[in-house]
Amino acid sequence: MKKNIYNILKGTFLVSDDSFKNWRIIIFISVLAIVMIASSHSADKKVYEITKLEDEVKEMRSAFVDGRSRLMRLKMESAVASKMKEKGLVPSVEPPKKIKVKSQD
């Protein structure tokens, strides 16, 4: 047991006659580790992009709600009347009359 640990620490398993099997396993494990690291970096990048896009959606949604509320205030009768009063137009005090057109047939 002690001799095996000492041989592993010295690295004799990498230079012995049957070391080709050991090198294949080491290279395979190294390639798997590189693939795993690349995969985790890719996943992290996607998470950051998703967070950025979610923040952008929230910002656009708040801008939409703000614009819609401003539009609703501008469409109110009192807002239109005050704008027209500045230009000299006032709402009529008489109610509108219905005009009936008789067909000439």
Of the CA atoms within 13 Å of residue 104, those in its CB half-sphere come to 0
- Residue whose entry in the numeric block shows the structure tokens 């998703």: 50
pLDDT in tens, 20-37: 777 888 899 999 999 999
pLDDT in tens, 48-105: 999 999 999 999 999 999 999 999 999 998 888 888 888 888 888 898 889 998 887 6
- pLDDT at position 105 is 67
For residue 1, what are its two tokens?
């047991």
**Domains of the chain by residue range:** 2-86
Residue type, 43: A
Report helix angle 77-86 to 19-75, nearest 10: 60
> What burial class does residue 98 get, using C-beta atoms within 10 Å of its C-beta: 0-12 exposed, 13-18 middle, 19+ buried?
exposed
